[in-house]
Amino acid sequence: MTSSDFEIPNGLTMALQEFTVNLIKERPSNIYDFAANYFTRLLKEKERLLNDEGDYDEDAEISKLRYAKRQSVCAESYQPEEDEEGENAEKIVHPKTEEQRQRLEISVKSSFLFKALDEDQTIEVLDAMFERKVDVNEDVIVQGDDGDNFYVIDHGTYDIIVDVNGTPKTVFKLCPIRVT
């Protein structure tokens, strides 16, 4: 049998590419558990979307997310060694229970944003985090507004709604990822 005898199922290439990108970003210690959790989460999300909308085109949904153009990105160069406050800056510490701290540690430990931090830096970042409870249907982040915080979802499901030609469209749903 040659490779031309096989038919690649629709969506397989894109699904494997997205999985590979997430695998490389997260660098899990056990790729098999990561793969099982990743695809189980995708399956649950697909089932939720089917229940909500009755119609689901997996390739179209992934393509929208992957190739969507950003409205704008603004950045400013930052040189920490030139920061006047530097080590003398007052550290921000928001009190939290041990249980809250453990939940945050579990939530951020697999995030590529936190992988490069040493233990002291991670503690400093976790100290600066604070809990924000939101109401059902409350807008947490609004397209076009300046970003104000880094959010960790502890529980619940959040719709990602973008403006598509003047019409709000739900393009994705986020829920907590439990890594133990």
pLDDT digits (tens, 9 = 90+) for 33-47: 888 988 888 888 877
69 — pLDDT class (breaks 50, 70, 90): very low
**Distance between CA 55 and CA 50 in Å, rounded?**
6
Amino acid, res. 129: M
Q: How far is CA 176 from CA 24, 63, 120, 122, in A?
A: 20, 23, 25, 20
* DSSP H or E stretch at residue 91: none
Report pLDDT digits (tens) over 110-163: 777 888 888 898 899 899 998 888 888 888 888 888 877 888 888 888 888 888
Torsion angle, alpha carbons of 138, 109, 65, 36, to 10: -110
Overall residue count recorded for the chain in this entry: 180
What rounded mean pLDDT belongs to the chain?
76
Amino acid, res. 51: N
178 — pLDDT class (breaks 50, 70, 90): low
